[in-house]
Amino acid sequence: MAGSEALWRVGLVCGGVALAAVVLAGFGVGRGFEANPSGPPPQATASVATAAGPIVRAGVGSQTTDPFYLAGGTYGSVWSAWGEAPEFPPCTHSAKLMAVDPANAATSLGNVIDLATRVQVPATGTSNSSYVYDVKPGDYYLDVTSACAWQIAISPAEHPSAAAGSS
């Protein structure tokens, strides 16, 4: 019995060594696909939207969105909100455009403009559009306090009086 017990232990040790070798080889193969395996790990970067296209954020309930870049100037804003089902009571919806850098904002807390303030939204939904003037280049985010589902789009726009004068 002593011989079979020793053989069993040797088999167990060999199996453990083989398993460790497979795991370590797997890590080595994974590292082989990295651009710079000896460098620091990659860092997350902010996504920057182009100034020409609309920036659209959507959600359900209260949220603070990830930051996005605005190149500055005049922007059109359109928000929509709706309830979960037509038979539900109205939901309350508020949304603010906030500056990451308070120097780009209208208030010291970073508020640029209130897009919606405590709007009672029927379950079937509603929307509103407005302009945001004299936006400074920089990073911004949306601060939404809502019991609704919602979508907000912000797009570069000509100043309405400039557009009216050019026709």
100 is a domain residue: yes
Average pLDDT over residues 43-71: 77
In which domain, by residue range, is 147 found?
55-160
Q: For the chain, what percent of residues have pLDDT higher than 70?
A: 63
Q: Using the CB atoms, write b or e for 104-143: b if 16+ within 10 Å.
A: bbeeeebebbebbeebebeeeebeeeeebeebeebbbbbb
Give the span between the Cα atoms of 86 and 62, in whole angstroms: 20
Regarding whether 71 and 25 lie in a shared domain, the answer is: no
Q: For the chain, what percent of residues have pLDDT higher than 90?
A: 56
> Per DSSP, which regions of 9-125 are E strands?
55-60, 63-64, 68-70, 73-82, 91-99, 111-121
pLDDT at position 85: 83
pLDDT at position 19: 38
- Say yes or no to pLDDT of 27 above 90: no
Q: Count how many domains the chain has.
A: 2
- Say yes or no to pLDDT of 163 above 50: no
Residue type, 124: T
41 is a domain residue: no
Give the span between the Cα atoms of 119 and 109, in whole angstroms: 22
Regarding whether 60 and 26 lie in a shared domain, the answer is: no
pLDDT at position 137: 97
Residue type, 56: V
